[in-house]
Each structure stands twice: as structure tokens, then as C-alpha cells.
Structure 1
């Protein structure tokens, strides 16, 4: 009973915190802050693991479809029925894996599709993560990468992401940092977060 109450309190706290952009107990991929270029942050990420899926389109609908599919995996649609919770790890039984931020969205090389990713918590490896039940979900190793990142709040539609990506690429032009791939979008908050409290980012991989 106490475990159930604790779980309900944790879920309520996360729901309320999410309105104001407070991410309680949510792990984020570690990075090293290397430099700044105006409002742009240069970050170096180490190797990490992600669950990902490919969906048609490049806007909010694509993101929602990919999110639901990946949420199925982390909520137990896997070969071990392992639960991966978005709240603090309070469980009645079984093993829990804390959800991480951000949700990542990138365009698949001009095909019109998007690749949606959830980054897995750092304690898990390719060997220990459960296999997805849905063949459209794959678990992949993401190599170490260096990014130029521009943070923004508010609207996160495809129009807003495109505009911020153009702003980021324009700022990099003529600088010491050179893009080495198309921009990706990272979203840290749920849809009900107040727009001015949302943490959104566009990021461009950089050449060595």
C-alpha cells in the first residue's frame, strides 16, 4: 500500500512539475561544455544508447507517433516485460528504468521520414537492455559526438524548428565550427509544459 501511495505521489509531482518545466529525477545524457558562440553552446557527448523508431513526416504528428511507439517499449512492450518509468523509480515488483531526456527528432536524409529517439539511462548496456517486441523499435549505440546547440522556448512546431535550425547554421557560417550533418531537434518537456518554460534545442553535429 505504501509503495502504491509513493508511486501516486511521485506521478502527481512529475505531472505538476512538468507544467512548469521541472524535470524531477530525469536523467540526461552527460556532456562536456567546450565553448560558446554567442547564444550557441558547443558540447561534446560521449557514447550512449538509444531506442529509436522511424515514422513518416517531420512535425508534431511524427513526433507524437514515434513517442507513443517508443513509450510502448519503455512501458513493458519488450521481451522481458521490463518497465521503464518516466517517474522516480518506485515499483511494486519487477525492474524499473528511469526515463531520460531529451526526446530527439531528426529528418531521415530527405526521405520525408523522421527518426525519433529516447536515450537510455547510463547504467544500461546493449547486453542488458531488453529487446523490443515491436520490430519498428530498435536499440542502437550512438557514438561520441560534438554538437553546436541552440536552446529556445515556446513553439516547437516543424516551422519553429526549421527557423531555429536556419538561425543556428547561419551563426556557424564563417566561424571556427563546421557542421558535419543535418540539424536535429531535442525536446525535454511534455506537451502540457507552459510554452515559456519549455526547453527545446536544435543541434548540429560538428566536424572534428
Structure 2
């Protein structure tokens, strides 16, 4: 499995291991290992507001707001599962997650103290990933997800259409060379 590219780009931050299965001009098909994450779900209308609330909750958790009162290293990406509501002005469920550091993958991270934060696992999965730069707005993530969906539909790929993920890899203080992604998960 591979995480070397992101280790190089993002320094010493742990990130999920994956292998690139195929690569096209529009997306990469990646096979991710199953992994542990720490998550929180926020119902909201705006991706940015939900991601901000989720980030704060998770940052408090890694800063010591957990059963062992220990600090946990930051990882990448900040992954957000987007499950759109039924209408244009309905709330969407946003599940914001931090990858558990490699040292905690086997045994798990400490239990959160905040009842709105939980430890979870994602199974091994194949993701179709489109990446792009800049400070990503809600519109950017939506447009990139729509572009990826069109590419996958044109290629005849099967994927879960009821949700997608956004992934952010950079600190808000990094002004250039930013890396953002949208993911759809392959279905049978």
C-alpha cells in the first residue's frame, strides 16, 4: 500500500494507506486499507459550517478531551462524508473524521469524552478520487463531485450515488499549493 506521496507532500502527518489501481485524466481509482477514524456528525445546510464545527470537536478530542486525557497527533486528511438531504434547502448530514494515527490503528484511540464524537472504522474500500487545488468552497466541492460523477457515469463505473466524501489536506494557514479531493466509493 502507498501513503508515501502524502507523507512527502504533507510532512510527517499520518494518512490512510492506499494503492492506485488506475489513473485517468479525470480521477484515480484507489484501494484503501481498512482503517480506524474518529468522527462526529453534524446536520447542516452548509458544508463549510459543518466541517468547521466538526473540526473543532475533533481537534478538542486530539488535544486531550478523551478518556485518557492524552494528546493525539494530527493526521490527514480531514475527511467529510456528505449525505445530501431530500431537497434543495434540507439539512445534509456531514460526518467529519480524523484518521487515527498509525500507532493507534491496531489497538484504537482513546474513547472520546464528548458524546457527539465517536470512534469508527471504514472497511477496505475502492474510492474514485478527483483532486484539485485552492481554498475549496462549498461550491467547489459540489462542482468537483458533479464532474467526478459525470466522468464515472461516462466510464460505466458503479459507485454509491447517495453520498460522497470531501478530503482536505492542508492547514488553513497554507496559502498556496493546496490539495483537496472528492471521493465516490465503488459499489458492486
Give TM-score scaled by structure 2 length.
Answer: 0.86
Is contact 2:26–2:148 with CA below 8 Å preserved after alignment? no
Contact preservation (8 Å) 1:126, 1:139: no
CA RMSD of aligned residues (A): 1.8
Alignment of 1:96-107 (within 5 A): 98-107=73-82
Q: Verify the 8 A CA contact 2:83 2:164 in the aligned structure 1.
A: no
Once structures 1 and 2 are overlaid, which stretch shifts more, 131-140 or 172-181?
172-181
Alignment of 1:127-146 (within 5 A): 127-146=107-126
- How far residue 22 of structure 1 moved from its aligned partner, in angstroms, is 5.3
Length, aligned pairs only: 174
CA-CA distance at 1:112 after TM superposition = 1.8
Q: Cα offset for 1:177?
A: 2.3
From 1, 5, 10, give the equivalent of 1:23: 10
Q: Deviations over 1:113-141 (max 9, x none)?
A: 31100011122147442110001000011
* Alpha carbons 1:126, 1:141 under 8 Å: kept: no
Compare the two structures and name the one with the higher strand fraction.
Answer: 2
Partners of 1:180 and 1:160 in 2: how far apart? 20
Give how far 1:48 is off. 0.2
Q: Highest CA radius of gyration, 1 or 2? A: 1
2:129 to 126, 144, 149: 149
Q: CA deviation at 1:66?
A: 0.5
Aligned position for 1:18: none
5 Å-filtered alignment, 1:25-64, equals 25-57=12-44, 58-64=46-52
Partner of 2:55: 67
Q: 2:95 aligns with which of 82, 100, 115?
A: 115
8 Å CA contact retained: 1:54, 1:116:
yes
- Unaligned runs of 5+ residues in structure 1 are 1-20, 85-97
Counterparts of 2:95 and 2:122, CA distance in 1: 13
Distance (Å, rounded) in 2 between the aligned partners of 1:146 and 1:128: 23
